[in-house]
Structure 1
Amino acid sequence: MASKRPQGRAPARRTSAPRRPAKPAAPRKRRTPEEAREAILQAAEPLLVEQGPDRVGLQAVAKAAGVSHALVTHYFGTYEALVREVLLRRNELLAASFREHLLSGDTPPDAGALLERFFTVVQEGQHSRLMAWALLTGRAEHMPFVRAQGLRLLADALEFQAGRVAQAQGTPPPSRDTVDMTLLVALCASQWFLLAREVLLPVMGRPADATSDARFREVLGGMLERSLGVKPPGGG
């Protein structure tokens, strides 16, 4: 008769600890359509500046904004429309800031102060690159000061200030033609300098730094003041 083998003990069953009920997820704060649209524009702008509009798409913007591609499409339709809205938004902020500075205070700012303000506003986020891209790709209507006759309003403000200075000096005010041409020279020279300063200044043996920027504004400001007749020819 075969001997019975002792049966081993059955392994004890492990009792798993009772699962704790998961905490309910905090309810998402729903954005209004205006807030969602603004968040997308804010996320898109640095991408366009850093990479260039031709290297960014709706998918990249949606990822940066933390929203779905479908939501971006819902608000803007196409990538071209989104880029246009970014440029127009920057245009309005830039023009409003510059006009506010031009008309603020009891004492009219001189040409040097105006140029410094223009440089400060345009250099924030390297917006001069977006301005150049808009011009070179046939989107000039999206450039700062162009939409809603922003450049015309800026010329009106400059004419008003130049008239105040001329009255204080007891001299004839500049003509509107002089104001318009002076403003165009200032904008074109400033824009080109901001785009090419890092290349042109070293070629001329100068560092591309704040000192060179200040000197450029000083010289250009003196030229503009003499053009408007708001400073004696030998004053700068």
Structure 2
Amino acid sequence: MKVRTRDSGGTRRAILDAAQRLFARNGFSGTSMREIAKASGVSQPLIHHYFGSKEGLYRAIKQRLMEQARDAMPLNEDTPRDISFIGEFIRSAFLFLRKNDDLLRLSVWSNLEGESSLWPEAEVLVHRMFVQILNLQTGGFIRRELDPLLLLLMAEALTLYWCQNRSYYLSLFNEEAEEVDDRYLNQVLDVMLHGIKPRSKDEAPSRL
């Protein structure tokens, strides 16, 4: 009988993919290493070799998801040129979350299981957005009395809450799900982008 072999990268991905599905379905506490080994086709000792522990594996899954989120965000410019950057961020976050059920489920499980620490890479992502919002405030594009961190968290909440509870609320609408998604996103963008603009002509935008 020929023994199937994998390269180390393929083995690691197989473990992460299987564990991510199980953690998203059953939570951290409800998933065993034995189940992960069976689902991935990789022995428990080899899983421990790659990730050290169940906690290490869980952290690696969160880090991979956050890296994917970071890559989906419009964070390439150190200094955004105008307020459209905020709209691009909200739209990118919304579209990313809509396509990532595992991340949505894991975020709910994290709350249910009492986690209180940030996910890996989250602090870096928040800091980069914080700095860019400050740059827009300095340029006069965003009201200067607004707290940049709270503004960022509000944008996240508006996208995350809808994506997590979408199936529950869709029954309130007589439209296709995608049409409701589009209307929700457009209304969030309209409210956010108008609400954060300077209220006084004294705060005219400067050229960034």
TM-score (structure 2 length as normaliser): 0.75
Superimposed CA distance per residue, residues 164-207 of structure 1 (whole angstroms, 9 cap, x where no aligned partner): xx85xxx55533844322211111121111111221342x3455
| Deviation digits for residues 94-149 of structure 1 (CA, Å, limit 9, x no counterpart) | 12321447779988745444322112212223121211221332324244763x43
What percentage of aligned pairs have identical amino acids?
Answer: 21
From 187, 200, 223, give the equivalent of 2:169: 200
Deviates more, 1:130-139 or 1:110-119: 110-119
SS of residue matched to 1:56: coil
Equivalent residue for 2:43, pick from 65, 68, 71: 68
Aligned equivalents of 1:198 and 1:30: distance in 2? Answer: 39
Task: Say which of 151, 154, 159 aligns to 1:190.
Answer: 159
Task: Tell me if 1:114 matches 2:83.
Answer: no
The answer to whether the 8 A contact 2:143-2:199 is kept is: no
Contact 1:102/1:108, CA 8 A, preserved across alignment: no
Confirm or deny: 8 A CA contact 1:94 1:121 kept in the other structure: yes
Q: Does 1:134 align with 2:116?
A: no
- How much is the aligned-residue C-alpha RMSD, in angstroms? 3.4
1:90 aligned residue: 65
Higher relative contact order (CA 8 A, sep 6+): 2
Instruction: In structure 2, list runs of 5 or more residues that go unmatched.
Output: 201-208
Q: Secondary structure at the match of 1:89?
A: helix
- Structure-1-length-normalised TM-score: 0.67
2:157 partner amino acid: C
Q: Equivalent residue for 2:192?
A: 224
| Number of residue-to-residue matches in the alignment | 199
> Is the contact made by 2:63 and 2:121 (CA closer than 8 Å) also made in structure 1?
no
Partner of 1:211: 179
- Aligned twin of 2:203: none
* Residue 12 of structure 2 corresponds to residue 37 of structure 1: yes
Q: Distance in 1 between matches of 2:84 and 2:5?
A: 45
With over 3 angstroms needed to count, the CA separation of the structure-2 counterparts of 1:190 and 1:173, relative to structure 1, is closer
What SS does the aligned partner of 2:114 have?
coil
Name the CA distance, whole Å, in 2 between partners of 1:176 and 1:212.
33
Aligned-partner residue type, residue 193 of structure 1: W
